[in-house]
Amino acid sequence: MHDFPPPQLQPPRTAAARPGPVRLAPLRGETNLSYLDRLADRYRLGFRDLIPALLQVGGGLFKGYRTDGEVYLNAEARARISAFSRVPEEILQRALPAWTAQEPLSPAGAGAAGRFRFGSVVPSAGEGCRLCTAARTGRTKPARLYLQPHTRICPRHRRWMLGTHWIGGAPAGTEQIDLTGLPEMIAAHRRHLNLLRHRPDASKAFEVAHAVAVSWWAQQWSEEEQWPHRVRQLTPQGADPGWWRLLARDAVTYPETVALTSVLTDEHTRQRLLADTGGHLPHTLTYAPGLVAELARATDRPWLSDRLASTSAGPLLVWVQQCVRAGMGSTVAGPVWTLHMAHRPRSIARELTAYREAAHQDGKTADGARLHLGLRHTSDQSFTTGLAHARAYAAVHGHLAAPIHSRFNGFALGRWLSNHRKSPRYRPNTSRNSRHWIRGGGRLGR
């Protein structure tokens, strides 16, 4: 393969640009930004030089550039890129998930236009397996792909794609980790693919299972041995183990997340759950012994049954309650795979940022800082617990008018409700607000 000199960037003011000397094929699942970056690299240019000139949109297109971003193009811009790269648009559309995702407007009202976005508004992406990319392109230039749970593992080269974690104005620096010595990761990947092929709910169930696994991870149970072992396997010699424990969280918990997904999507599991609960809404997992035992068996943790039996909050209990409601035909039943904001795992980037800030403020090394891992903040942890009890109370009584000194399942729910009703973010229409609060994402006063 050969490099070519920079092209003369004088595209006509038409819907398409003059074809360039290089034909560059896209990779399946690649971001628009990655494809344009590789295209510019073939001409030994930066994409912030090639693309604005090619589209005649000025140099401000990539203002605030970050590696976790994406560039969206309108129809005329896409036509120019297609013509210049000598790749038909239908091929680009099949390969690039965000190719036609948005239609930015040109400041002049007509002509090529682009829009750069980054952060939470862009789906998770990261470098694809470097060895696979080199084999497909014949070059060492990395490619960025949209990452889904089942595409984060390259079974051929035993790599886990972490994605890009932007921390304090710069990427974390580590995009991939080596899974050599952890055969259970590859086995879990094969099982995951099988679930996606044969169980329609597997993709949504994985999100719930991931939230459950991270909630267990945050407990740092003394009986847990498998996760610490994997962290040690993945941590480079001399690196901060606390930092790497956070960085590799989703990889370390992946086999158990897949096992949980298998249990939650099994129809026999749901039938036994309904039989165990007798159609009554459980407020702890003690009333779902069959599920608890199956989870302990599936994750190869015999001690897990005792840990889970007293659970009275969290994503797993919410899933159980939704299954019971749906199975009994309750009019208040919601989607089984609903995952409230209060139960969504904190992003790894936020965990790493908090870890570094805590180490700096405490004057300790990063290894010595103590954090509540997996949860947003201590206040968020207490709010999540209170919210779960409030939902359970409302399911039983149909309201949230709990006396101020009352306790529910051992929790001082009356005082908790009173404190939040006094919050300036809580609106005074109690019954309406309570219903939205209990069913919604866990934020008061929305």
Rounded to the nearest 10 degrees, what angle do helices 47-55 and 32-42 cross at?
100
Residue 160 neighbours by CB under 8 Å, 6+ apart: 152, 153, 176, 177, 179, 185, 248, 251, 254
CATH number of the structural domain 32-104+111-122: 1.10.260
User: Measured between alpha carbons, how far is 328 from 115 in angstroms, rounded to an integer?
Assistant: 49
pLDDT, position 383: 72
Residue 400 neighbours by CB under 8 Å, 6+ apart: 390, 393, 394, 417, 430, 434, 438
Q: Is the pLDDT of residue 384 over 80?
A: no
Look at strands 153-154 and 125-127 and give their pairing.
unpaired
Question: 70 pLDDT band (50/70/90 cuts)?
Answer: very high
pLDDT, position 410: 61
Looking at residue 270, its amino acid is: R
> Where do the domains of the chain lie?
32-104+111-122, 199-343
In 3D, which of 344, 351, 257 has the Cα closest to residue 299?
A: 257
pLDDT, position 10: 45
Q: Is the pLDDT of residue 408 over 90?
A: no
User: Measured between alpha carbons, how far is 339 from 328 in angstroms, rounded to an integer?
Assistant: 20
Mean pLDDT to the nearest integer, 306-314: 83
Q: Is the pLDDT of residue 443 over 80?
A: no
Question: 427 pLDDT band (50/70/90 cuts)?
Answer: very low
pLDDT, position 330: 54
Range of lowest pLDDT (20-34, 299-313, 329-343): 329-343
pLDDT, position 257: 97
Q: In this structure, how many other beta carbons lie within 10 angstroms of the beta carbon of residue 6?
A: 12
Q: Is the pLDDT of residue 430 over 50?
A: no
Which tens digit of pLDDT belongs to each residue from 163-172? 988 887 788 8
User: Measured between alpha carbons, how far is 195 from 266 in angstroms, rounded to an integer?
Assistant: 10
pLDDT, position 363: 53
Looking at residue 60, its amino acid is: G
DSSP class of residue 139 equals S
Q: Is the pLDDT of residue 340 over 90?
A: no
**Residue 378 CA from chain centroid, whole number:** 21
What's the pTM value of the predicted model, to 2 decimals?
Answer: 0.75
For 119, counting Cβ atoms within 10 Å of its Cβ (0-12 exposed, 13-18 middle, 19+ buried), the class is exposed
